[in-house]
Amino acid sequence: MGGVGGLHLMTLVRMGIGKFRIADADQFSLGNFNRQFGSSVETIDEFKAEVLAAAARGVNPQLELDVRTSFVDVSNVDAFLEGVDLLVDAVDFFAFDARRMLFREARKRGIWAVTAGPIGFSTAWMTFSPQGMSFDDYFDLHDEMDSLERFIAFALGLAPLATHIPYFDFSYVDRASGRGPSVAAACCLAAGVVGAEAVKILLGRGTVRSAPHFHQFDAYRYLLKHGRLRWGNRGPIQKLKRRIMRRRLIQLGFSV
């Protein structure tokens, strides 16, 4: 229920979805003010999940809400995904293990999953069908990878054409604290595309281009990019990009 999670929830509530299960153990702080729905002077130190639940009920008092002030992990993922029709990924960018677990467990249960996040002034998004390419297969993620390899694989897989690179300052990326440059405008873009994907999946209408299809809209550069990586991150061009990015990040002082 942080950078994009709160906006995802409120967008879907206003679009008529009436039943949610949300989870977040974090509390609002001053550092959330630049982008997170629900963060304000009045909500500092309050649980994000509880604040967002109250906001959602303010829009639709008849909502069915299962609110959890804890993170989802291997001990409770079964209960979290029980009866779910769609998984909307709002996990922190650097929480790779948690994200892999959620997508893996959703796939086992035949649940569609959508991920959309802010990157600079853009949003990059992907949808995963339970019958299509899996999250780990597309991003080429393995347990033995170091943290820098996982970061690069997720970043380049999510936005292969990287429209944000000309203006993105990587010196502000801090993997240790899980922080990176983000703005409210990009979070709103992410919530918008999630809303559109949710309508198509839940109502069975329109075309859903699932992985290995990727999409990125950059409002700063007026660019919409989309395509299909037949082999995901395992393709030769993506592997080359990953090697180049790893060298450059290490030169910038990123550790493995």
Residues 195 and 98 in one domain: yes
Question: By percentage, how much of the chain surpasses pLDDT 90?
Answer: 89
- Residue 47: strand, helix, or coil: strand
The runs of H, that is alpha helices, within 60-172 are 77-81, 96-108, 135-139, 147-158
The answer to whether position 77 is within a domain reads no
Q: How confident is the model at residue 26 (pLDDT cuts 50, 70, 90)?
A: very high
pLDDT of residue 182: 82
Instruction: Report the C-alpha gap between 46 and 44 in whole angstroms.
Output: 6
Residues 223 and 120 in one domain: yes
Of 21, 40, 71, which marks where a domain is finished? 71
pLDDT digits (tens, 9 = 90+) for 4-15: 999 999 999 999
Residues 174 and 133 in one domain: yes
Neighbouring-strand partners of residue 225: 216
Residues 65 and 96 in one domain: no
Instruction: Report the C-alpha gap between 48 and 203 in whole angstroms.
Output: 29
Residues 66 and 94 in one domain: no
What's 2's domain CATH number? 3.50.50.80
For residue 137, how many other CB atoms are within 10 A of its CB? 16
Residues 64 and 184 in one domain: no
pLDDT of residue 75: 95
Alpha-carbon distances of 39 from 32, 55, 135, 187, rounded to whole Å: 6, 11, 31, 14
pLDDT digits (tens, 9 = 90+) for 65-114: 999 999 999 999 999 999 999 999 999 988 999 999 999 999 999 999 99
Residues 133 and 212 in one domain: yes
Residue 241 identity: K
Whole-model pTM above 0.85?
A: yes
Alpha-carbon distances of 96 from 22, 82, 147, 149, rounded to whole Å: 19, 22, 9, 11
Of 71, 96, 122, which marks where a domain is finished? 71
Q: How many independent structural domains does the chain possess?
A: 2
DSSP state of 127: E
Residues 48 and 91 in one domain: no
Torsion of CA 52, 54, 60, 63, to 10 degrees: 80
For residue 96, how many other CB atoms are within 10 A of its CB? 19
Instruction: Report the C-alpha gap between 211 and 127 in whole angstroms.
Output: 6
- Give the domain extent around 16: 1-71
